[in-house]
Amino acid sequence: MRVLNISVTSIIITMLSITPAGATEASNKINWSVTPYIWATETKFDLKAQGTPIGEDKITFDDLLDTTDASFQIVVEAGREGGHWSAFVDATYLDTSDKYTGQLFRIETDSEQWFVDAAIAWWPWSEAGGFNVFAGARYTDLDDAFDVDIMAADERLPVAEFGAQRDFLDALLGARYRIDLSQHFSISTRADYGFGD
């Protein structure tokens, strides 16, 4: 079983922008940004097993907040000042866990997830215009563990413990729009679509 299609809409808040001091000519100046951000998402996904659709669902930001143990998100991007092209790497790490206890059984889950996007962006009206489209690749690594116990007379009897590690490499297409609030702060929106592997 695997996630075939993922479409994500997120709000990104830029925290820090760093430009190297070595560039002198404005036309050739390379702008760098290092951006930690908050990934406030609603994710819709389709599941298929050996090509057969088996379900679809969505995960809201509230769902993530309830189950997240650790998380970080960061983007590193570089491009020429006033230019129409840039390149970026966007990394997201999530460690989530959850448990359900009923009268007959208890289920505990733990999931560690990496999403790494690498892409080239094109800015039709240069970087100052705020809008860009991008294409690249997304690497996804999912490491899940499940523990199932039967509850009997206040005692937990282990039934099953299993896990799955999967990784995928998908093509990535998307668009972003950035609103600059000041020299070092901005608000960005992003929509993308991953498909392939």
What is the per-residue pLDDT for 188?
85
What is the per-residue pLDDT for 14?
41
Give all strands of the β-sheet with 85-101 in edge-to-edge order: 30-36, 68-80, 85-101, 105-122, 131-152, 155-180, 186-196, 2-13, 42-49, 52-59
Does the global pTM surpass 0.85?
A: no
Helix (H) or strand (E) holding 93: strand 85-101
What is the per-residue pLDDT for 115?
93
What is the per-residue pLDDT for 165?
86
- Which range of residues forms the domain containing residue 62? 2-196
Q: Find, among 78, 165, 172, the residue nearest to 117 by Cα.
A: 172
Averaged in consecutive runs of 10 residues, what is the pLDDT profile of the chain (197 residues)?
40 41 55 81 65 68 73 91 93 85 78 94 90 96 84 69 85 94 85 86
Number of separate domains in the chain: 1
